[in-house]
Structure 1
C-alpha cells in the first residue's frame, strides 16, 4: 500500500518530480553529453569507428545487465541505499573515463558508467508508485517526464561547448561533477518509500521466484515491448547524430542542440498532455492515441525521406511529433507494468528497463551501423521499431486481460 506522500515529502510536488527526473535522466544524459565529442575522442585516442561504437555499446550493455538487479536490490534493502551506491559508482566511472589514456580503458569505464547509471531510472519509478495511487502517479510520472526532457536538451549543447573549448576530457569531468551534486542532493532529500515490513528477503530462492513469477506473465513482456521498443524509433536518431546531423544535415558539434531541443520539446508536450489526461481519459484510449500519433509521424518520415533529400527544417518535424506520441503513452504503460506485481515494483521496473536497454544495445550495436548512412533506411528502421510496440500493445489488449488502472 502506498505511504502518505505528504508525510514523506513535505516540499512542493514539482520538487520531487525534479529530483526523480534528475535521477532517471542520468543514463541518457551521460550519452547525449559525450556524443558531440565522439570524433574528437577517436582522434585523441587513435580509436577506430568500431572501437568508438564499442564505447556506446559497452555502456548500453552494462546498463541493460545491471537493470536486472537495481530494482531487486531496492526491494530488499530500500530505495535510498541503492540509489546512493549507484550514483557514487557512476561518479567514479566518470572520473576514470576522464583519465583514460587508451580506448580499452575508456570502454571499461563506460561499461561501469552504464552499470551504475540505471539505478536512478529504475528506482525512481518504484518510488512514484510507492507514494501515489494510479491516477496521481500518472500525473507525477508525467511531470517527471517533462523535467526529464530538459536534461537531454541541454546535454549536447554543454557537451559540444566543453569539447570545443576544453577538450573531450572536460565532458567526463563535468559528468563526475553532476554525479557528485546529485549524490549530495539525494542524500539530503530522497525519502525512503519502502517500509521495512514490505521488503523482500535477499536470498536466491526468493529472487528466483520473483523473476519467474513476473517473467512468466505474458502481459509483462507485451507491455514492456509496447513501452520500451517504440522509444528506440527516436533513440535510433539520437545514436546516429554524429552522422545524421553532420553528414546528412551539415550541422557542426555546437549545433547538435537544435536536434535535441526540438525532440525534447515534443517529449515535454506529450508528457504534459499525459498528465492533463490522467483520470479524465481511459488509460487504454490514451495509449491508442499515443500510438496513432507515432504511426502518423513514422509514415510521414518514411514518405518524406523517400521523396526529398533530408534537410532542415522538415527533417525534424516528424521526429518531434513522434516524441510527442511516445511521451503521451509511456507514463500509462509504465504504471501498468508496475501494477502487475505490486509487492515487487522494483523488480518489475528492473525487468521493464532491461527490455528497453537490451533493445537500445541492439539498436546501437547492430541497427545503427546498417542504416546510419542512408536517411531513407533510418526512417524505415524507426518506423519498424514503432511497429513492434504497436503490435505488442494490440496483442496485450486483444488477448490478455490487464489489471485495473
Structure 2
C-alpha cells in the first residue's frame, strides 16, 4: 500500500471506484456494442460466420497477450502512463475498425483493440491495492464491479440502436468517442498511486525473475484458475448470444437486452453482497458461498435443459444466478492473487488477467462454436467451466489450508 495514499485521493471512496470502473468499461463496450451488429457487419463486408468469429477471437487473444505486459510496465513506470497510453491506442484502433473495408482489416484492428483495452482493467486492480488495506480494498473492488456492471447492460442496446439508425461503422466511431472521454477523465483525475520507492527496475533480468516468481508458484495459477475459468460459465452464453437468444430462444434482436440486463444484475448483486461481507466473514468462507451458488445453479440448469425444451421464460435466470455467485467470490480471489507478491501487484494482475483472457479466447474461438446450437450442450459446457475453477480452489485449500484465512 502506498504510504501516502490518504493524500493522493481526498474525494469519497466511491468516486475513485467509479473512475476505475469507467476504465474497465473499455472491454465490455468493445465486445457487447458490436455483437448485435454481427450479421450486419458480415453482410456489409461479405464475411462468413467463421470470419466474424475471428474478430472476437483476435480481440480476446490480443487482450490476453498484452496483459502479460501491462502490469509489468505499470510496476516500473507507474500506473498513470500505462492507463493513458493504452487508451490512446484503443481510440486509434477503434477508428481503424470504423474505416475497415474488409474483414481482414477488421480482424487486425480488433487485435489492436484487444491489446490495448486491458490496460485500464489490469492497472485499476493494482491501484485499488495501492490505495487501501485488504478489507477496504475488497469493498472498493466490489463497488468497481457494481459500477462496471452497467456497461455490459447498456452496450448491446447502444450497439443495436446505432446499427439500425446509423450503420455498423457508427458503433466503432462511438468507441472512439468513449476513448476520448475516458482519456480526458483519467488525465485530469487519476493520481499516480505507485510510490517511487516501490517501482521495479525495467530490464530483462528483473522482468524474467518476476514472471518466473509468479508462474512457478502453483498457488498463483490455482487462484487464477479459480477466478478466471468459472467466469466462462456465463461468458460462454455471451459469446453464443446470437444463436442462443435468436435461434434457440426465438428472441428478436430488440429483446436481447433482457439477457444482458439479467446477467449484469446478477453480477452487480453479487458484487454488492461481496462488499457487504468484507471484514465480516473470512475470505475462504465467502469464496465457498460463491462456489456453492454456482454449483447448485449449474446442476439445476443442466437438469432443466435435459428435461424440458428451452424457453426464455426460465432459461435466462440460471445464468443470472450463476453470475451472482461468481461476483460474490471473485473480488476476494483477486485480492488473494495481488497479495501473493505485494511488490509485483501489477504483474500479478497482468498474469491473472492473461489466464482469464486466454480461457475466454478458447471459449470464443473453439468451445462456443461447438455448443452454441444446443441449450443442453451450453448448459453442460457451463458446468464444466465452473468445475475447473472449483477443482482448482478445492485443491488449493487442501494443499495450503491457510489460504483465505484472516490473519489472527
Taking structure 1 as the reference length, the TM-score comes to: 0.99
Gaps of 5+ in 1: none
Gaps of 5+ in 2: none
| Aligned match of 2:242 | 242
Report if the CA contact (8 A) 1:58-1:110 is conserved. Answer: yes
Please give the alpha-carbon distance, in whole angstroms, between the structure 1 residues aligned to 2:332 and 2:404. 12
Aligned length: 405
| Aligned match of 2:252 | 252
Please give the alpha-carbon distance, in whole angstroms, between the structure 1 residues aligned to 2:404 and 2:285. 15
Superposed CA offset, 1:101-144 (max 9, x none) = 00000000000000000001100000000000000000000000
| Aligned match of 1:229 | 229
Please give the alpha-carbon distance, in whole angstroms, between the structure 1 residues aligned to 2:5 and 2:161. 40
Deviation at 1:252, TM superposition (A): 2.2
Report if the CA contact (8 A) 1:219-1:402 is conserved. Answer: no
Secondary structure at the counterpart of residue 256 of structure 2: helix
Report if the CA contact (8 A) 1:79-1:127 is conserved. Answer: yes
Please give the alpha-carbon distance, in whole angstroms, between the structure 2 residues aligned to 1:132 and 1:36. 39
| Aligned match of 1:371 | 371
Please give the alpha-carbon distance, in whole angstroms, between the structure 1 residues aligned to 2:405 and 2:297. 30
Superposed CA offset, 1:243-265 (max 9, x none) = 11110111222222111000100
| Aligned match of 2:403 | 402
Please give the alpha-carbon distance, in whole angstroms, between the structure 2 residues aligned to 1:25 and 1:342. 26
User: Which structure 2 residues correspond to residues 186-265 of structure 1 after superposition, within 5 A?
Assistant: 186-265=186-265
The answer on 1:334 being equivalent to 2:334 is yes
Report if the CA contact (8 A) 1:340-1:403 is conserved. Answer: no
Taking structure 2 as the reference length, the TM-score comes to: 0.98
| Aligned match of 1:10 | 10
Deviation at 1:310, TM superposition (A): 1.3
| Aligned match of 1:51 | 51
| Aligned match of 1:23 | 23
Please give the alpha-carbon distance, in whole angstroms, between the structure 1 residues aligned to 2:145 and 2:309. 33
- Structure 1 residues 249 and 235: CA distance shift in structure 2, 3 A: same
| Aligned match of 2:177 | 177
Deviation at 1:189, TM superposition (A): 0.4
Please give the alpha-carbon distance, in whole angstroms, between the structure 1 residues aligned to 2:2 and 2:309. 52
Superposed CA offset, 1:340-388 (max 9, x none) = 0100000000000000000000001110011000010000000000000
Please give the alpha-carbon distance, in whole angstroms, between the structure 1 residues aligned to 2:285 and 2:313. 32
Superposed CA offset, 1:207-262 (max 9, x none) = 00000011111100000000000000000000000111110111222222111000
Report if the CA contact (8 A) 1:291-1:390 is conserved. Answer: yes
| Aligned match of 1:167 | 167
Report if the CA contact (8 A) 2:284-2:405 is conserved. Answer: no
Please give the alpha-carbon distance, in whole angstroms, between the structure 1 residues aligned to 2:324 and 2:182. 28
| Aligned match of 1:277 | 277
| Aligned match of 1:324 | 324
Deviation at 1:280, TM superposition (A): 0.2
| Aligned match of 1:299 | 299
| Aligned match of 1:308 | 308
Report if the CA contact (8 A) 2:136-2:278 is conserved. Answer: yes
* Greater Cα shift, 79-88 or 304-313: 304-313
Report if the CA contact (8 A) 1:339-1:403 is conserved. Answer: no
Deviation at 1:6, TM superposition (A): 3.0
Please give the alpha-carbon distance, in whole angstroms, between the structure 2 residues aligned to 1:404 and 1:3. 25
Superposed CA offset, 1:258-308 (max 9, x none) = 110001001101000000000001100000000000111111110111111
- Structure 1 residues 382 and 198: CA distance shift in structure 2, 3 A: same
Please give the alpha-carbon distance, in whole angstroms, between the structure 1 residues aligned to 2:240 and 2:404. 38
Alpha carbon RMSD of aligned pairs, Å?
Answer: 0.9
- Structure 1 residues 3 and 155: CA distance shift in structure 2, 3 A: farther
Deviation at 1:404, TM superposition (A): 5.6
Deviation at 1:335, TM superposition (A): 0.1
Report if the CA contact (8 A) 1:3-1:193 is conserved. Answer: no
Superposed CA offset, 1:150-192 (max 9, x none) = 0000000101111111111111000110011000000000010
Please give the alpha-carbon distance, in whole angstroms, between the structure 2 residues aligned to 1:368 and 1:42. 18
Report if the CA contact (8 A) 2:284-2:403 is conserved. Answer: no
Report if the CA contact (8 A) 1:24-1:120 is conserved. Answer: yes
The answer on 1:105 being equivalent to 2:105 is yes
